[in-house]
Amino acid sequence: SYELTQPSSVSVSPGQTARITCSGDVLAKKYARWFQQKPGQVPVMVIYKDSERPSGIPERFSGSSSGTTVTLTISGAQVEDEADYYCYSAADNDWMFGGGTKLTVL
Amino acid sequence: QVQLIQSGAEVKKPGSSVKVSCKSSGGAFSSYAISWIRQAPGQGLEWMGRVIPILDESVYAQKFQGKITISADRSTATAYLELTSLRSEDTALFYCASGESLDSWGQGTLVTVSS
pLDDT digits over A8-57, tens only?
Answer: 999 999 999 999 999 999 999 999 999 999 999 999 999 999 999 999 99
pLDDT in tens, B7-38: 999 999 999 999 999 999 987 887 889 999 99
- Looking at the complex, does the CB of residue A76 fall below 8 Å from at least one CB of chain B? no
The one-letter amino acid code at A101 reads: T
The stretches of A5-106 forming alpha helices (DSSP H) are: none
What phi, psi does A98 have (nearest 5°)?
A: -75, 170
Q: Say if residues B46 and B92 touch (Cβ distance below 8 Å).
A: no
Q: How many CB pairs under 8 A join A and B?
A: 46
Q: Does B108 touch chain A (CB under 8 A)?
A: yes
| Average pLDDT score, chain B | 95
CB A105 within 8 A of CB A85: no
**C-alpha B111: how far from chain center:** 11
Give B44-78 pLDDT, tens digit per residue: 999 999 999 988 899 999 999 999 999 999 999 99
How many Å lie between the alpha carbon of B98 and the closest alpha carbon of chain A?
12
Alpha helix ranges (H) inside A11-84: none
